[in-house]
Structure 1
Amino acid sequence: MKLAIHAQLDYQFEHPTDVLLQLEAAAIPEQQIEAAHIDISEGEHFARVDAHDEIGERIWLRIQGQLLIDYKATVSIERLLTDCLALPKVPPHQLPGETVQYLMASRYCPSDQFQCFVDAEFGRLQGGERVIAMRDWVHSHLSYVPGASDSDTTALETFVKRQGVCRDYAHLMITLVRASGIPARLASVYALGVEPQDFHAVAEVFLGGEWHLVDATGMAKEAAMAKIGIGRDAADVAFLTAYGLARVNSQSVRVDAA
């Protein structure tokens, strides 16, 4: 599967502001960047740094006035696809060190508050079978409602309200999986099938010794996602973090089969 990606951002900053970007598809073994170009309006500072767990890169900017970003890329998806249903849970004492942080509760994913629910609802299931049952539960119990959540909404609030957008689906999925003693993290991706088209958020779960992308919204398939970055939750993978006041003039994302 090959994806053609085009993202455009137009933001305004009245005062000199530090801005952290993460919107380029990551150069990692599971996906090949065949072509990529990013145009960013001139500012006081530009520097590239490694992103979370060294998957992808972030860009530091120091800017005042209008920020225009135009990013285009062609990405070939080459990840090995495995049906999660039959994959086993890795016992916690056998987990690789880099996965352990993704067992813990985090800002948007209070997994320590969901253990009783998980045991009652999914206690009869194990490993990948439990993860797929959780994906289906989230998909069937939540309604996709743009504007129903904001940047402060946690998985607990989503669980109560039963509505949200992709990041809310991903946060609740991650929370349930972590409450089962299975590492789970958030992946920001470009994906086919997302409506309305935008930066997309999905869960990534550690089963059978490998990471697997799982979209509880049902809009995107693992074979048609280009990974941007990963983190404990959305706080680690925001496409733009401004350390000051910002105004959005316009923003668009388009993903097509190349």
Structure 2
Amino acid sequence: MPIDIKTSFAFDLDRPTDLLLQFQAAAIPEQHIIDSDTWLTKAQHIANVPAQDAIGERIWIRADGPYKVDYTATVEVNRKVADVSGLNRLDPHDLPGEAVEYVFDSRYCQADRMHTFVDDRFGKYQGGEKVAAMRDWIADNFTYEAGTSDAKTTALDTFVERRGICRDFAHVMISFARAAIIPARYVSCYAPGVSPPDFHAVAEVFLEDPDLKGGGSWQIVDATGMADPAKTVKIGIGRDAADVSFLTTFGISSFRNSTVEVTETG
């Protein structure tokens, strides 16, 4: 079933500033972009560049003054979705190069600080069963609450506070998985059913491919429970939120507003 996306956001720049945007649905095999339209305020410089792991694109912009972005798209998701609890873990020495960086700590995901808890709480589980147990534990023990975190909040902070938004839930899920030596990465996405409507974030874990013995595949895991992996439209991926923010400014900016609408059609 097609997913309709409508996004708008605006901000102010008080001097010529470089910024990096990533908000468009990624053109990748697991999702087909039926149509899309992007409108950007005129700028001194605009250039598209490949994003992390060539999933999606980023837009370099140099601009000054008020700036606005409008984006609409219709996307058909064709992703193969598996029950992660039934998938095996790949031994570290069997991981492909693309997955290796996602077992290391990153800016917001301090997996090394989670080892003891993960071993004590989830040590009896194996592979995807462990991932499912982690996801369910976060869902049961954390409160989704807007305004309780900011750009400095790490997975460890969220683990202590036991509350946050989708970004924070994803960071904790990623940190838990990496602490168990299961590659995990951050996915910026659009998904119907997210409340309040906004850019969404989920984790993705690398487990044995259900259709290829000995091979691996990435599987979406959302500890908030709001995003259906079969209806989730990927924008981009990264080690954590720092790699795939919809707006990164390399200077002073003032964010004004944003709206996101994601609906199923048909």
Give the residue type in structure 1 aligned to 2:45: H
Cross-structure match for 1:19: 19
Cross-structure match for 2:57: 57
3-state SS, counterpart of residue 134 of structure 2: helix
Cross-structure match for 2:5: 5
Question: How many Å separate the matches in 2 of 1:132 and 1:185?
Answer: 16
Which whole-Å deviations, capped at 9, do the CAs of 1:116-147 have from their partners, x for residues lacking one? 11110000100010000000001111101100
Cross-structure match for 2:213: none
Cross-structure match for 1:71: 71
3-state SS, counterpart of residue 238 of structure 1: coil
1:249 aligns with 2:256: yes
Which whole-Å deviations, capped at 9, do the CAs of 1:152-172 have from their partners, x for residues lacking one? 000001000000000000000
Cross-structure match for 2:211: none
* Structure 2 residue runs without a partner (length 5+): 209-215
Question: How many Å separate the matches in 1 of 2:80 and 2:159?
Answer: 32
Question: How many Å separate the matches in 2 of 1:249 and 1:169?
Answer: 25
Question: How many Å separate the matches in 1 of 2:21 and 2:255?
Answer: 14
TM-score, structure 2 length as denominator? 0.96
1:171 aligns with 2:171: yes
Give the residue type in structure 1 aligned to 2:95: L
Aligned residue pair count = 258
Cross-structure match for 1:137: 137
3-state SS, counterpart of residue 62 of structure 2: strand
Question: How many Å separate the matches in 1 of 2:205 and 2:190?
Answer: 18
Question: How many Å separate the matches in 1 of 2:144 and 2:86?
Answer: 28
3-state SS, counterpart of residue 25 of structure 1: coil
Give the residue type in structure 2 aligned to 1:78: N
1:170-249 aligned within 5 A: 170-208=170-208, 209-249=216-256
Which whole-Å deviations, capped at 9, do the CAs of 1:65-123 have from their partners, x for residues lacking one? 11111100000000111111110000000000110000001110000111111110000
How far residue 204 of structure 1 moved from its aligned partner, in angstroms, is 0.3
1:41-56 aligned within 5 A: 41-56=41-56
Question: How many Å separate the matches in 2 of 1:205 and 1:253?
Answer: 26
Q: After the TM superposition, which parts of structure 1 deviate over 6 Å for at least 4 consecutive aligned residues?
A: none
Give the CA RMSD over aligned residues: 0.6
Question: How many Å separate the matches in 1 of 2:197 and 2:37?
Answer: 20
Question: How many Å separate the matches in 2 of 1:154 and 1:10?
Answer: 26
Question: How many Å separate the matches in 2 of 1:35 and 1:61?
Answer: 23
TM-score, structure 1 length as denominator? 0.99
